[in-house]
Amino acid sequence: MEEKKVNSFLNRLKENAQKQSNYGGETENTDAQMKLKDCPNCGAGRAKQDGVTHCAYCGFEFLSVKLTDGMYIKKEDNSL
Amino acid sequence: MFGLFNKSKQSEEVVPEWYAELQESQERWFSFLEKLEAKMEEFATAAIPELKQLLEEDDDLYKRTFHKVYSGVNGQLNNIREKARDTYEEKIISVYYHYNSKISVLSKHHNLVSDFRNNCSDRHNAFENKYDYWRKQIDKTKERDLEIEYQKILSEFETIKDKFKCTQCGGNLTIDKIFLIETYVSCPFCQTQNTFTPSTIGRNLQNIARELAEQRTAHLKEEFENEVDKERDLYHEHHTLSLSTIHESNKSVLNEIQIKMEDLEKQRQFAIQNAPKLRQIYLRAMYDEWNKITPDLKEHNEKMYLNQLKY
């Protein structure tokens, strides 16, 4: 009798845990990807030496912040 | 005068009436805790295999279903503990205070009252120890071998390392390390900035890195903790010896004990000095491992290391 009680409690606990939706939604497993963003204004590509904040051809603003030195992005990545 | 010292001896020797009530309370308390302990054991032994299985089967990235059930189980265990604590307050402590205020400390029977409380509180402590034991066993179900997960991440990295081509010119791109966030990878041929998005598995490396480093250096942590415990053990040994000298008059025996005590004290002082050193060795090794796993977080980790050394 007692054992039954314990098991039914555990089963209910498990059921409820599985039913409950997670805060922040379900996680999605995505694979690694490689993408490219061309300038949406003139269609030009973005080259390393031109920086990543503005389009080298039409001046379109990709990022409105001034970049500082970080782990991967450096000051030099600001467009002139 | 006042007949203060003429109390009849008989009344002192007869066990007072109220004692039966104390005894009954104590017996009920003991059997109540026994029942709770049995309940706790039954519940924990049923829950532990379930939790282990759930952790294996839970395909959520953060094992959230497991954690929900885990907190549910802990909550239930805690309910049992609280029940014991409330009953202790209600049925033991209040009875104790009631009789403690009624029976004078000078009375010969007062020790019956304090014994009652001591017995009940010792039993309660034994119950608490059992609770701690089961709580730890349940905590252990959270442990999983992170090396397996780490190997998965490494082999995933091996397969994607040279997989990508520049989206602009088709030239081969090499990902030179495990990135934890999206990053620009510039093509060595046309200089185009490609955006690399790491996989969910790859990103998860930062979540398991510390725990993995801790798993790898667990033996050093144990060494440090043992040194801390050793200090307490030596202190107790020293204390027992010093108590044994109280009734000892033989000088040669006293001398021997003295020498032993000095030796113990020396070892104790060494343990006190040594423990922080072992802690530092452990922390350094753990952070080194951590930095090896996620080199990009080194700068941040080192700040944490320096902070942790202060405490």
Number of domains observed in the structure of chain A:
1
CA B4 – CA B226 distance, rounded (Å): 58
pLDDT of residue B10: 47
The domain in which residue A50 lies consists of 36-80
Residue A69 lies in a domain: yes
| pLDDT exceeds cutoff 60 at B8 | no
For residue A44, what is the enclosing H or E element? Answer: none
B165-186 pLDDT tens trace: 998 899 999 998 999 999 999 9
Q: Which of A3, A17, A31 sits opposite B199 (nearest CB)?
A: A31
- Does the complex come out with an ipTM higher than 0.85? no
Which of A10, A39, A57, A78 to mutate: most B Cβ within 10 Å?
A10
CA A50 vs. chain centroid, Å, equals 24
* Interface contact flag, B199 A46, Cβ < 8 Å: no
* Interface contact flag, B68 A17, Cβ < 8 Å: yes
- pLDDT band of B3, cuts 50, 70, 90: low
Average pLDDT score, chain A: 87
CA B54 – CA B73 distance, rounded (Å): 13
* Interface contact flag, A47 B190, Cβ < 8 Å: yes
| Residues of chain B with C-beta less than 8 angstroms from the C-beta of A56 | none
Residue A6 lies in a domain: no
> Going by DSSP bridges, is the β-strand pair B183-186/A33-36 parallel, antiparallel, or unpaired?
unpaired
Residue A11 lies in a domain: no
For chain A, give the number of residues. 80
Residue A4 lies in a domain: no
CA B193 – CA B180 distance, rounded (Å): 18
Are the CB atoms for B66 and B55 separated by under 8 Å? Answer: yes
Average pLDDT over residues A2-7: 76
pLDDT of residue B6: 55
Residue A22 lies in a domain: no
| Residues of chain B with C-beta less than 8 angstroms from the C-beta of A14 | 50, 54, 69
Rg of chain B on CA atoms, in Å: 32
Residue ranges of domains in chain B: 13-144, 147-203, 208-309
Residue whose pair of structure tokens reads 């942590």 in the numeric block? B221
| pLDDT exceeds cutoff 90 at B272 | yes
B197-249 pLDDT tens trace: 999 999 999 999 999 999 999 999 999 999 999 999 999 999 999 999 998 88
Provide φ and ψ at B127, rounded to 5°.
Answer: -65, -45
Q: Which of A34, A47, A49 sits opposite B164 (nearest CB)?
A: A34
| Residues of chain A with C-beta less than 8 angstroms from the C-beta of B163 | 32
B79-115 pLDDT tens trace: 999 999 999 999 999 999 999 999 888 988 899 999 9
| Residues of chain A with C-beta less than 8 angstroms from the C-beta of B179 | 72
CATH topology for B13-144? Answer: Methane Monooxygenase Hydroxylase; Chain G, domain 1 (1.20.58)
Residue A29 lies in a domain: no
* Interface contact flag, A36 B50, Cβ < 8 Å: no
How far does the CA of residue B37 sit from the closest CA of chain A (Å)? 14
Nearest CA in chain A to B40: A6
> Going by DSSP bridges, is the β-strand pair B183-186/B193-197 parallel, antiparallel, or unpaired?
antiparallel
pTM: 0.75
Q: Which of B184, B191, B199 sits opposite A49 (nearest CB)?
A: B191
Residue A14 lies in a domain: no
Residue A13 lies in a domain: no
A18-34 pLDDT tens trace: 888 888 888 888 899 99
* Interface contact flag, A17 B197, Cβ < 8 Å: no
Residue whose pair of structure tokens reads 């093509």 in the numeric block? B187
